[in-house]
Amino acid sequence: MSMILFASIVRVRDGLPLSASTDFYYAQEFLECRRQLKTLAQRLARHPGRGCAESCDFLI
């Protein structure tokens, strides 16, 4: 069964995060995926639209 670990809301125009989490989950794999999500959010400014990505066994 899948479980949502966190949600992220970003402004696509400039990659600015519009939400923050108060939950702390420090598994290295999870932290790496959050870092990749941050990078992806910044790149979306150049490629707007809809889509999803799978990374580190997480669906983004």
Give the 3-state secondary structure of residue 33.
Answer: helix
Per-residue pLDDT tens, the chain, 60 aa: give them: 677 777 788 887 887 888 877 666 677 877 887 788 888 888 777 775 676 666 666 666
Q: What is the pLDDT of residue 42?
A: 80
Instruction: Say if residue 29 is exposed, middle or buried (CB neighbours under 10 Å; 0-12, 13-18, 19+).
Output: exposed
21 is written with which tokens? 């989490």
pTM greater than 0.85 (yes/no): no
Q: What is the pLDDT of residue 22?
A: 65
